[in-house]
Structure 1
Amino acid sequence: MVSACVQSAIAVLERQYSRYFSIEITEKLREETASTRLHNIDSDEIMEMFSAAKAKAPNAILCFLSSQLRACKNKTVVYLDGISEERREIVLKKAVKLGRMQRDQKRRTQNVLKAELISRQKKKQQSRDDSERRRMERLLKDKGLEVVQTAYPDLDYSQSERVHEMLDGKGCREVN
């Protein structure tokens, strides 16, 4: 049974990767792919680095942590150490300026998104309130005030005369 399972797994792998098995491996291709790693290893490593950085600085923003991880993975510090002092200053000034501009743009985008989310939540709440009000009005017209009072005991019924007048179509007079 185990042998049959292994044979089936081999058949599936051969079918899925037949294109890769048929490629002629040259020395140039071997050199180009010698340093590559599996993507799962890289993603696991990044997640571990992110978790460690977040534990070390829990109040750090995501942009900062992302740039820190990219600098580590891209070996930016090694590159900066390898260039001349005046060239490094020029590169760092440009990087700081561009980073600030990028962060400001992200903040503006976040504020726009936050405002949009808030307006959508307000519209949704208004819609819920309107539907609840219409439901209460229908109940009041169909069943009467006593049913509404039992269904909504927490409402203030001190102005019930005014409600009856409005429902009867007599208009709205000022009640103090």
Structure 2
Amino acid sequence: MEMSVKERLKLFLREEGIKDTDFCRTIGVSTGFISGMRVSIQPDKLKSIAINFPRLDIGWLLTGEGSMLKNESSSTSASFPEETQNKKKNSDTSLENGDLLYKMYIDIQKKDAEIKELHTKLLSMSEEIGNLKTLLKDKQQESPTTNSDFHAETVQKKRSSSRISGSSAQPDAPTIK
């Protein structure tokens, strides 16, 4: 059975003698991050791992292919004599892993830009809401009537205009001739 990303990460930490809590603190996540892992790692966490643990081969962490540590890759391939075709296949896999990481890095950069744009919009909307609240407060202070007074005045005006216009909304009393 193939190891999961979580199991490979735990193996790396064990091999390097790194405590789970130290690892989590280093990459900026809660101490329960590793135990809470399900299938894979979010791109922002992966980026932090790659930056803070440069010896770890991220391709190996994600796929289980290749060697755990980057500096072992050349010695590992030398110690296992293989046919030229198999070596080419392994190097293609390394390139694919590198391409995957690069694509993930680009996606992270795009998401960061989107987050910054949304943050700017949020700040603008918050400022606009503040301005509207101030305007509303000023309007309420200008007009001494309360909402119920305003409602009563509006109803009275509607009744008056109905009688004047001859609307059937409020029939007049029958006249006796």
With structure 1 as the length reference, what TM-score do the two structures score?
0.39
Q: Which has the higher helix share?
A: 1
Normalised by the length of structure 2, the TM-score is 0.39
